[in-house]
């Protein structure tokens, strides 16, 4: 009625709508209710959090951010206010194939889809993706720590040469200074090269590779690239490769590692998750820390406990699908299907509890 009062008399609109004229004027002069005032203040905070996440957070992560700052608010209320303000998270699109297999000798699969680690620097996953720009593709290789989902090594290049994955692994080794860690990847030619195998032997890294044409064998790395695509690449168009490099660096080091909340980590960021783990497990001077081990997988996966690491994919991920993962051809009928039960002898004895 207020929007149309310049076209029609108030009395006429009240008579047509079946309300009293005095009731309309009393409503228009009434101050907002306590609930409406509270919703307006909460919506302002929600809008600030949504903008700080570069427009990527949906109601679950915004609710987690509010709870972390001491607010007692329901998740459905956050979702209702976001819907009314047309605020929403981002969705994902498909990736293209970047894995090129050659006839080189492959490493054994030491993981068998068991993406669980009870400590940092026990299991790393790695993969390569592409970043489209107006001046051509930029390729990105990453190394993630399975324990905290943290990107511990990354590298960018304009070509898919072996030096791309070597630089990412060298960065991870320099940052973590760890030996005996399992490095899991697909069977791309970069990971099966002689140079990569030599670096693994020299630095005490145990290479591991999944089967061909099955995205679930490297699901955690695929999940990170889906997040990168959803929250950065699909929302920006880069004119130059230098612009893309800057944006990816800011996303990984300025947002993903230190601040982005993960549902698999109890809505903590990778950096905060590792800090809490370090505070919960103090070590005495001169006493060596116990080495982390890979948790065993059972036919019915148990619910992950805070000190046992977390499982990325559930049993439903083993069902064959027409198109799995980010590669369009990874769900082919020829892809190797595996039983979820861990095979004995897959993991070296010094990594067993």
Is residue 282 very low, low, confident or very high in pLDDT (cuts 50, 70, 90)?
A: low
pLDDT tens column, 207-241: 999 887 777 888 899 999 999 998 898 888 999 99
CA 333 to chain CA centroid, nearest Å: 28
Q: What is the pLDDT of residue 140?
A: 95
**DSSP label of 112:** T
Helix (H, G, I), strand (E, B) or coil at 64: helix
**Mean pLDDT over residues 62-76, rounded?**
88
Residue 170 scores a pLDDT above 80: yes
**Percent of the chain with pLDDT strictly greater than 70:** 75
Is the pTM for the entire model greater than 0.75?
A: no
pLDDT tens column, 117-168: 999 999 999 999 999 999 889 999 999 999 999 999 999 999 999 999 999 9
How far is 109 from 209, CA to CA, in rounded Å?
5
Is residue 311 very low, low, confident or very high in pLDDT (cuts 50, 70, 90)?
A: very low
Q: What is the pLDDT of residue 252?
A: 95
Edge-first strand order for the sheet with 206-209 is: 150-157, 136-145, 123-133, 182-185, 206-209
Q: What is the pLDDT of residue 206?
A: 93
Is residue 283 very low, low, confident or very high in pLDDT (cuts 50, 70, 90)?
A: low
**Mean pLDDT over residues 26-47, rounded?**
86
pLDDT tens column, 118-131: 999 999 999 999 99
Q: Any bridge partners for residue 84, and if so which?
A: none
Greater model confidence, 185 or 328: 185
Q: What is the pLDDT of residue 131?
A: 92
Query: Which structure tokens are listed for 274?
Result: 């590792």
From the number of C-beta atoms within 10 Å of its C-beta (0-12, 13-18, 19+), residue 245 rates as middle
Q: Which domains does the chain have, with CATH numbers?
A: 1-30 (no CATH), 123-271+297-351 (3.30.420.10)
Is residue 287 very low, low, confident or very high in pLDDT (cuts 50, 70, 90)?
A: very low
Please tell me the least confidently modeled range out of 240-249, 279-288, 302-311.
Answer: 302-311
Mean pLDDT of the residues in the chain: 79
Greater model confidence, 338 or 174: 174
The CA radius of gyration of the chain, in Å to the nearest whole number, is 26
Q: Any bridge partners for residue 126, and if so which?
A: 143
Greater model confidence, 241 or 345: 241
């Amino acid at each position: 009625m207020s929007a149309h009062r310049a076209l029609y008399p108030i009395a006429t609109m009240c008579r047509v709508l079946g309300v009293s004229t005095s009731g309309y004027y009393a409503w228009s002069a009434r101050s907002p209710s306590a609930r409406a005032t509270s919703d307006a203040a909460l919506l302002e905070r929600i809008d600030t959090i949504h903008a700080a996440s570069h427009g990527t957070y949906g109601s679950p992560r915004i609710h987690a951010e509010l709870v972390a700052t001491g607010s007692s608010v329901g998740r459905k209320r956050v979702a209702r206010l976001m819907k009314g303000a047309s605020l929403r998270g981002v969705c994902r699109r498909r990736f293209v194939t970047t894995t090129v297999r050659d006839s080189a000798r492959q490493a054994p699969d030491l993981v068998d889809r068991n993406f669980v680690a009870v400590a940092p620097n026990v299991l790393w996953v790695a993969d390569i993706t592409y970043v489209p720009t107006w001046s051509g593709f930029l390729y990105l290789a990453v190394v993630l720590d399975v324990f905290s989902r943290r990107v511990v090594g990354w590298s960018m290049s304009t070509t898919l040469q072996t030096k791309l994955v070597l630089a990412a692994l060298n960065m991870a080794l320099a940052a973590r200074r760890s030996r005996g860690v399992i490095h899991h990847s697909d069977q791309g030619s970069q990971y099966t090269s002689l140079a990569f195998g030599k670096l693994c032997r020299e630095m005490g890294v145990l290479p591991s590779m999944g089967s061909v044409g099955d995205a679930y064998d490297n699901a955690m790395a695929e999940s990170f690239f889906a997040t990168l695509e959803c929250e950065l690449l699909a929302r920006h168009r880069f004119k130059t490769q230098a612009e893309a490099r800057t944006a990816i660096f800011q996303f990984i080091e300025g947002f993903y590692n230190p601040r982005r909340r993960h549902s698999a980590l109890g809505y903590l960021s990778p950096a905060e998750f590792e800090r809490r783990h370090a505070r919960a497990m103090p070590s005495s001077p001169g006493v060596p820390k116990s080495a982390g081990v890979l948790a065993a997988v059972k036919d019915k996966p148990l619910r992950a406990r805070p000190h046992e690491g977390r499982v990325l994919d559930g049993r439903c991920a083993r069902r064959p699908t027409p198109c799995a993962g980010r590669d369009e051809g990874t769900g082919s009928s020829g892809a190797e299907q595996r039983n979820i039960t861990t095979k004995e002898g897959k993991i070296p004895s010094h990594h067993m509890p």
